[in-house]
Structure 1
Amino acid sequence: DYMNQINAKLGTDYGLFNYYGAEDADRVVICMGSFCDTLEEVVDYLNAHGEKVGLVKVRLYRPFSVKHFVDVLPESVKKIAVLDRTKEPGSVGEPLYEDVVSSLYEAGRTGIKVVGGRYGLGSKDTPPSSAFAIFEELKKDAPQREFTVGIVDDVTNLSLPEDPEAPNTAAEGTIECKFWGIGGDGTVGANKNSIKIIGDHTDKYVQAYFQYDSKKTGGITISHLRFGDHKIRSPYYVTKADFVACHVPAYIIKGYKMVRDVKPGGTFLVNCQWDAEEFAHHLPAEAKRYIAKNNINVYLINAIDLAKEIGMGKRTNTILQSAFFALAKVLPEADALQYMKDAATHSYLKKGQNIVDMNHKAIDAGATAFTKIEIPADWATAEDAPSTITLEGREALLKQVRDIMTPVSRMEGDALPVSAFKNHVDGQFELGAAAYEKRGIAVVVPEWNVEKCIQCNQCAYVCPHAVIRPFVLTDEEVAAAPAQSQFKDAVGPKAKGYKFEIAVSQLDCTGCSNCVYICPADALTMKPIEEQESKQEIFDYAVNHVSEKTELVANNVKASQFKKPLLEFSGSCAGCAETSYGRLVTQLFGDRMYISNATGCSSIWGNPASCSPFTTDANGHGPAWNNSLFEDNAEHGMGLMLGHQAQQKRLLELAQQLVDEDGASQDLKDAAKAWIESVNDAALSKEASKTFVVELAKSDLPAAKEILANKSFLTKKSFWIFGGDGWAYDIGFGGLDHVLASGEDINVFVFDTEVYSNTGGQSSKASRLGQVAQFAAAGKDIKQKNLAEIAMTYGYVYVAQVSMGANLQ
């Protein structure tokens, strides 16, 4: 009754259950939530093609009314598929499925075949192909009792086959667009503005979805836009678009399959600094064939240089937005440009008329800056170039890179089968995968001037992504180096006889310029990546073939950078200081670190699934990294330490047995005794463990075998708890205080940005009095919590506050 009263006032039609479809349907799907809109599209399509199907939309789930449910169900129904967006391991079926089965039994309608399916788990997209697959399954005499859609389940074999070329069921006349950008380039913001302009100034319906990878700023973004004259019932990503734009030229080089998203006869706009010939050189053969065979209209635009000329730096979004309106013809071009200018004036006037004028100039420029290229006939038969990529490393790591990381990095992770993760069911992934990614996203990268360099290593010290590094080489290593390598005599009391070089990984650089700003000798200059890319071989040779000169490593700014960083090529924002600190900690303690990382910025750049930037040294040792819940990270970190203590306590008991064992050799006894005496000293335990392991391998004693099986616990570990101020000051403070009060030998590193960085810059207890942030637009009205002073009150907690920008030491 209440819902009917609301319907009468608002003109809606919401019942406890709503039926949609053929009155005499023989197959019906029961569902709740946004997938119902997709199912409506497919129901319309199938009924228009002579089938009899329907949909029951659950509006009020609890309490579940059997009477109202049965009343909306057509008498003609023979088969039902019930969809749940949840998984109930161990149950007979998912909740809605069980409710439907029991309701039909109670109502006496026992002649209906009912099956249950799962969809949308882990935010899986559920396009029309999933709905078509469900109705197709219901056609069978014996449809699958339980199934999943939207995923390829080749382990339990519950997934239904889906046709990637399923019919487009969007409303007639709907224009669909996709824009591939990079986090921080303004693509997402520009597309939000585009949708607002179209929605505000036309009678068209509009829709926008935004898709992101797991990186911070600098990761892939995909904007999905729809607009049309009819209501849009398409709560899924665009798969075939009338207009596709690539705003990042590196995506062409990397072979991202953007072109296959374009409908036959559609438009493909590429932002790059190439002419038509250079574009053809970089475009993969697969893309050329698709373009030629499907009559794709290809346009090039150099918004990169245009933005620099106008004074907008790296912000190409306004230029590209203008080009979109000029090519898509959604609005009369003159009107679209004026609406964009009005929006720019509204957005930027408070920043000054100069900013407004630059944006207006960019809008005018973008409307005419693109060029259509002619498609050569031989593109239709273009042949794939042989792969020149060879991967070296541990086989388990290479398998992870090939089978999981590479598809995920191309935004193709949803297509991976369940079997790809069989070796990772416990959540463990190999260290060092990020080194294989080589995103090549920087437009400009540093070039080293060997004559000017004073060998201070400050560039490497501040580099957030560990892409610029100093190396010292022997004469033999110099002789084997790539021809374009440059060297100078190394300076320092222990460096005599060595050569020195700075090497840059151009394909891992994000172009932040931190190294250029810090260099006291102006020995670094940012240059276009096209001019520097051939020098990648210098870095690759140095990393893989130049040994670490341990005698040069020490705990100071310069010497610390001769140690291999065990945090490299992370997904953090360009110029992010958090990773500079994290990298430095791994250079000091990394080969024996345990890290418990609170969810936040540091966990996002710290370990995107399958692409860990934490890595290992030449001996295969590196940080053991764990991610815990936001609120219990400190307890989790302490648990790791207590677990290790328990393991080591057992090893101490076994080692003492060996010392007292008559059957043990004297060498084994001496090694065991030396290890026992050094167990609490990092450096001594490392050396004693090496000797101990050698002697253990020679013994057949049970105690020796058990110790050998657990040899990774022999060296003293360095336990670290990482997290941001949102964790340490606010949500996880209770656990942190417990850990600090314990008196245990454990380290806590707080990446204090004074706001909740990972969720958009909201005010935290670390924010300062008067600081403007989200949720504190008028300035924070209470003073900053002093976490350092709170820790110091215990009297036995060592507290340090560090800032590289203030003092590199």
Structure 2
Amino acid sequence: LKAALPGSTFLLNSMYGPDEVWQHLPRHIQEQLISKKIKFYVIDAYKVGTATGMGGRVNTIMQTCFFAISGVLPKDVAIESIKKSIKKTYGKKGDQIVQQNYQAVDATIANLHEVKVPATASSTITMPPVVPNTAPEFIKSVTAQIIAGFGDDLPVSKMPVDGTFPTGTTQWEKRNIALEIPVWDPVTCIQCNKCAMVCPHAAIRTKVYDAALLPKAPATFKGVDYKGPEYKGMKYTVQVAPEDCTGCELCVDVCPAKNKSEVRLKAINMAAQPPIRETEHANFNFFLGLPEADRTTVKVDSVKGAQFLQPLFEFSGACSGCGETPYVKLVSQLFGDRTIVANATGCSSIYG
């Protein structure tokens, strides 16, 4: 809220309702809302999207919120204009899509709530750092400032002298945007590694490792016996990076394994992210510490084998469910740091 002027209006998309969202705000956010006398509104846009068949597409919902509270146009005029725009934009996709968007607009108004701002701040929550304290100095002093929106304030003296920019910075940029993340069922899993292969962001990975390493794992870490003869006696794990996953569900779609007890379930199933974020964060950190596979023992000419190799293209800014990045990731796995990329501009210039 640094840029907010006194008397501004603040809209928050949150899973918490108007009676509980205040207690989940960091203290310095509460203090700014109070001192600047900001009008505070909240909506659970993803809940509205799910209820109206829109899924995770909340652009229509948030646009409706903007016009409903900004006063740019009278509310009724704004709603009518939005619906005309929906008809024009989505008309060719069929009446069902148009009606879903109409329903989303109407449901938005019903689920948009003003939050009463108390006179004093009560939160004990502090805003976490933009990047972990363990990040390299350049990441903390430059990259973190860019992520936080203060890139224009960086002096030239902060830039590398030769103009080059460090690579591999996405490992420190935890976007934390998925509402749901995949959870691995080791009993149902057939260890095909297709989930890791299809993941656009290298956020779900597999490893085989010595069983002697498991006693050091967090209590919630999952590891089972590897089923193939090539790594006999070793353990196998599928692990998700909870703060890097975008929730696209491609891993669930591609999973061929079926749970024999509950046919609707597979070896990979989606679950709400917030309740398991901390445990999966600890699990992923332990997973990263496990030794990478010896490339001389890996059958790189198979999907399964290739996914035991470390991806050097990870956590990109590509759209959720991207169809391009799995290929780039696979190239980085197959050829490692010997790879040289000659790139034409396009999506690959942005997410790369």
- Above 0.5 in TM-score? yes
Q: Are 1:481 and 2:217 counterparts?
A: yes
Is the CA contact (8 Å cut-off) linking 2:23 and 2:122 kept in structure 1?
Answer: no
Please report how far the alpha carbon of residue 347 of structure 1 lies from its aligned counterpart in structure 2 after TM superposition. 2.4
Matches for 1:630-641 after TM superposition, within 5 Å: none
Q: 1:580 to 1:335 in 2, by over 3 A?
A: same
Identify the residue that residue 566 of structure 1 maps to in structure 2: 312
Identify the residue that residue 74 of structure 2 maps to in structure 1: 332
Identify the residue that residue 306 of structure 1 maps to in structure 2: 48
Please report how far the alpha carbon of residue 270 of structure 1 lies from its aligned counterpart in structure 2 after TM superposition. 0.5
Matches for 1:242-321 after TM superposition, within 5 Å: 259-276=1-18, 279-321=21-63
Q: 1:488 to 1:364 in 2, by over 3 A?
A: same
Which amino acid letter does the alignment assign opposite residue 548 of structure 1? E
Q: Are 1:403 and 2:148 counterparts?
A: no
Per-residue CA deviations over 1:698-718 (Å, capped at 9, x if unaligned) read xxxxxxxxxxxxxxxxxxxxx
Q: 1:429 to 1:388 in 2, by over 3 A?
A: closer
Is the CA contact (8 Å cut-off) linking 1:286 and 1:382 kept in structure 2?
Answer: no
Per-residue CA deviations over 1:757-790 (Å, capped at 9, x if unaligned) read xxxxxxxxxxxxxxxxxxxxxxxxxxxxxxxxxx
Identify the residue that residue 446 of structure 1 maps to in structure 2: 182
Q: 1:549 to 1:404 in 2, by over 3 A?
A: same
Identify the residue that residue 419 of structure 1 maps to in structure 2: 157
Q: Which has the higher strand share?
A: 1
Is the CA contact (8 Å cut-off) linking 1:289 and 1:381 kept in structure 2?
Answer: no
Q: 1:549 to 1:332 in 2, by over 3 A?
A: closer
Taking the aligned partners of 1:260 and 1:277, their CA distance within structure 2 comes to: 24
Q: 1:392 to 1:329 in 2, by over 3 A?
A: closer
Taking the aligned partners of 1:371 and 1:517, their CA distance within structure 2 comes to: 36
Q: 1:382 to 1:493 in 2, by over 3 A?
A: closer
Per-residue CA deviations over 1:33-64 (Å, capped at 9, x if unaligned) read xxxxxxxxxxxxxxxxxxxxxxxxxxxxxxxx
Q: Are 1:523 and 2:259 counterparts?
A: no
Name which of 530, 553, 557 aligns with 2:298.
553
Is the CA contact (8 Å cut-off) linking 1:304 and 1:314 kept in structure 2?
Answer: yes
Identify the residue that residue 536 of structure 1 maps to in structure 2: 281
Taking the aligned partners of 2:21 and 2:308, their CA distance within structure 1 comes to: 40
Taking the aligned partners of 1:342 and 1:381, their CA distance within structure 2 comes to: 43
Identify the residue that residue 262 of structure 2 maps to in structure 1: none
Q: 1:321 to 1:392 in 2, by over 3 A?
A: closer
Unaligned runs of 5+ in 1: 1-258, 607-809
Please report how far the alpha carbon of residue 460 of structure 1 lies from its aligned counterpart in structure 2 after TM superposition. 0.7
Q: Are 1:360 and 2:113 counterparts?
A: no
Secondary structure of the structure 1 residue equivalent to 2:318: coil
Identify the residue that residue 236 of structure 2 maps to in structure 1: 500
Which amino acid letter does the alignment assign opposite residue 581 of structure 1? Y
Taking the aligned partners of 2:123 and 2:299, their CA distance within structure 1 comes to: 58
Which amino acid letter does the alignment assign opposite residue 577 of structure 1? G
Q: 1:362 to 1:390 in 2, by over 3 A?
A: closer
Taking the aligned partners of 1:519 and 1:408, their CA distance within structure 2 comes to: 37
Please report how far the alpha carbon of residue 289 of structure 1 lies from its aligned counterpart in structure 2 after TM superposition. 1.3
Per-residue CA deviations over 1:322-375 (Å, capped at 9, x if unaligned) read 222222233332222222222222322222222222222112122231122222
Taking the aligned partners of 1:487 and 1:382, their CA distance within structure 2 comes to: 37
Taking the aligned partners of 1:277 and 1:387, their CA distance within structure 2 comes to: 27
Please report how far the alpha carbon of residue 466 of structure 1 lies from its aligned counterpart in structure 2 after TM superposition. 0.7
Secondary structure of the structure 2 residue equivalent to 1:470: strand
Q: 1:386 to 1:362 in 2, by over 3 A?
A: closer
Q: 1:549 to 1:376 in 2, by over 3 A?
A: same
Please report how far the alpha carbon of residue 318 of structure 1 lies from its aligned counterpart in structure 2 after TM superposition. 1.8
Is the CA contact (8 Å cut-off) linking 1:458 and 1:518 kept in structure 2?
Answer: yes
Matches for 1:61-210 after TM superposition, within 5 Å: none
Which amino acid letter does the alignment assign opposite residue 187 of structure 2? E
Identify the residue that residue 84 of structure 2 maps to in structure 1: 342
Taking the aligned partners of 2:269 and 2:342, their CA distance within structure 1 comes to: 38
Taking the aligned partners of 1:595 and 1:388, their CA distance within structure 2 comes to: 30
Secondary structure of the structure 2 residue equivalent to 1:428: coil
Taking the aligned partners of 2:194 and 2:33, their CA distance within structure 1 comes to: 48
Per-residue CA deviations over 1:493-515 (Å, capped at 9, x if unaligned) read 13222221110011111222221
Which amino acid letter does the alignment assign opposite residue 524 of structure 1? I
Taking the aligned partners of 2:131 and 2:90, their CA distance within structure 1 comes to: 46
Is the CA contact (8 Å cut-off) linking 1:447 and 1:532 kept in structure 2?
Answer: no
Please report how far the alpha carbon of residue 430 of structure 1 lies from its aligned counterpart in structure 2 after TM superposition. 2.3
Is the CA contact (8 Å cut-off) linking 2:7 and 2:38 kept in structure 1?
Answer: yes
Please report how far the alpha carbon of residue 451 of structure 1 lies from its aligned counterpart in structure 2 after TM superposition. 1.3
Taking the aligned partners of 1:334 and 1:406, their CA distance within structure 2 comes to: 42
Q: Are 1:465 and 2:197 counterparts?
A: no
Taking the aligned partners of 1:444 and 1:380, their CA distance within structure 2 comes to: 30
Taking the aligned partners of 2:181 and 2:20, their CA distance within structure 1 comes to: 20
Taking the aligned partners of 1:334 and 1:389, their CA distance within structure 2 comes to: 43
Secondary structure of the structure 2 residue equivalent to 1:318: helix
Q: 1:262 to 1:587 in 2, by over 3 A?
A: same
Identify the residue that residue 248 of structure 2 maps to in structure 1: 512
Which amino acid letter does the alignment assign opposite residue 377 of structure 1? A
Taking the aligned partners of 1:266 and 1:388, their CA distance within structure 2 comes to: 25
Secondary structure of the structure 1 residue equivalent to 2:144: helix
Which amino acid letter does the alignment assign opposite residue 591 of structure 1? D
Please report how far the alpha carbon of residue 457 of structure 1 lies from its aligned counterpart in structure 2 after TM superposition. 0.6
Number of residues of Structure 1 aligned to a counterpart in Structure 2: 341
Taking the aligned partners of 2:128 and 2:65, their CA distance within structure 1 comes to: 35
Identify the residue that residue 115 of structure 2 maps to in structure 1: 373
Secondary structure of the structure 1 residue equivalent to 2:116: coil
Taking the aligned partners of 1:440 and 1:403, their CA distance within structure 2 comes to: 21
TM-score (norm 2): 0.89
Which amino acid letter does the alignment assign opposite residue 213 of structure 2? E
Unaligned runs of 5+ in 2: 258-265
Secondary structure of the structure 2 residue equivalent to 1:525: strand
RMSD: 2.3
Taking the aligned partners of 1:386 and 1:517, their CA distance within structure 2 comes to: 34
Please report how far the alpha carbon of residue 564 of structure 1 lies from its aligned counterpart in structure 2 after TM superposition. 0.7
Matches for 1:218-233 after TM superposition, within 5 Å: none
Per-residue CA deviations over 1:379-429 (Å, capped at 9, x if unaligned) read 189684786975446xxxx122111111112222111111111xx232222
> Identity across aligned pairs (percent)?
39
Please report how far the alpha carbon of residue 279 of structure 1 lies from its aligned counterpart in structure 2 after TM superposition. 3.2
Secondary structure of the structure 2 residue equivalent to 1:307: helix
Taking the aligned partners of 2:107 and 2:19, their CA distance within structure 1 comes to: 23
Taking the aligned partners of 1:278 and 1:538, their CA distance within structure 2 comes to: 30
TM-score (norm 1): 0.40
Secondary structure of the structure 1 residue equivalent to 2:205: strand
Taking the aligned partners of 1:599 and 1:386, their CA distance within structure 2 comes to: 35
Please report how far the alpha carbon of residue 557 of structure 1 lies from its aligned counterpart in structure 2 after TM superposition. 1.3
Which amino acid letter does the alignment assign opposite residue 361 of structure 1? Q
Is the CA contact (8 Å cut-off) linking 1:290 and 1:380 kept in structure 2?
Answer: no
Question: Between Structure 1 and Structure 2, whose CA radius of gyration is higher?
Answer: 1
Please report how far the alpha carbon of residue 290 of structure 1 lies from its aligned counterpart in structure 2 after TM superposition. 0.9
Q: 1:405 to 1:315 in 2, by over 3 A?
A: same
Which amino acid letter does the alignment assign opposite residue 541 of structure 1? F
Is the CA contact (8 Å cut-off) linking 2:196 and 2:202 kept in structure 1?
Answer: yes
